[in-house]
Amino acid sequence: MTAYPFDLDRYDGRMKYRRSGKSGLKLPVISLGLWHNFGDVDDQSTAQSILRGAFDAGITHFDLANNYGPPSGSAESNFGKLFKQDFTAHRHELVISTKAGYLMWDGPYGEWGSRKYILNSLEQSLQRMQMDHVDIFYHHRPDPDTPLEESMGALATAVQQGKALYAGISNYPADQAAEAFRILQEMDTPCLIHQPRYSLLDRSIENGLTEVLDTHGVGCITYSPLAQGQLTNRYLEGIPSNSRAGKSSGFLKESEVKGNIGQIRNLLPIAEARGQSLAQMALAWTLANPTVTSTLIGASSIEQLKENLQCLKNLDFSAEEMTRINSSFIKV
Residues near ligand NAP, by CB under 6 A: 33-37, 63, 140, 170-171, 195, 223-229, 232-234, 243-244, 279, 296-300, 304, 307-308
Instruction: For ligand NAP, give the closer residue by CB, 208 or 246.
Output: 246
* Kind plus residue range of the DSSP H or E element containing 112: none
Which residues contact residue 235 at a Cβ distance below 8 angstroms, ignoring those fewer than 6 apart? 229, 243, 245, 257, 261, 264
Backbone Cα Rg of the chain: 19
| Closest CB 145 distance from ligand NAP, rounded Å | 19
Cα–Cα distance list, 209 to 20, 122, 194, 230 (Å):
15, 27, 10, 24
Instruction: For ligand NAP, give the closer residue by CB, 186 or 265.
Output: 265
Instruction: For ligand NAP, give the closer residue by CB, 142 or 229.
Output: 229
Task: State how beta strands 294-297 and 30-33 pair.
Answer: parallel
Instruction: For ligand NAP, give the closer residue by CB, 213 or 226.
Output: 226
| Closest CB 295 distance from ligand NAP, rounded Å | 8
Q: What does the chain come to in residues?
A: 332
Task: Report how far residue 299's alpha carbon sits from residue 315's, in angstroms, rounded to the nearest whole number.
Answer: 20
| Closest CB 62 distance from ligand NAP, rounded Å | 8
Closest CA to 64 of 154, 168, 162: 168
Instruction: For ligand NAP, give the closer residue by CB, 236 or 322.
Output: 236
| Closest CB 155 distance from ligand NAP, rounded Å | 15
| Closest CB 184 distance from ligand NAP, rounded Å | 18
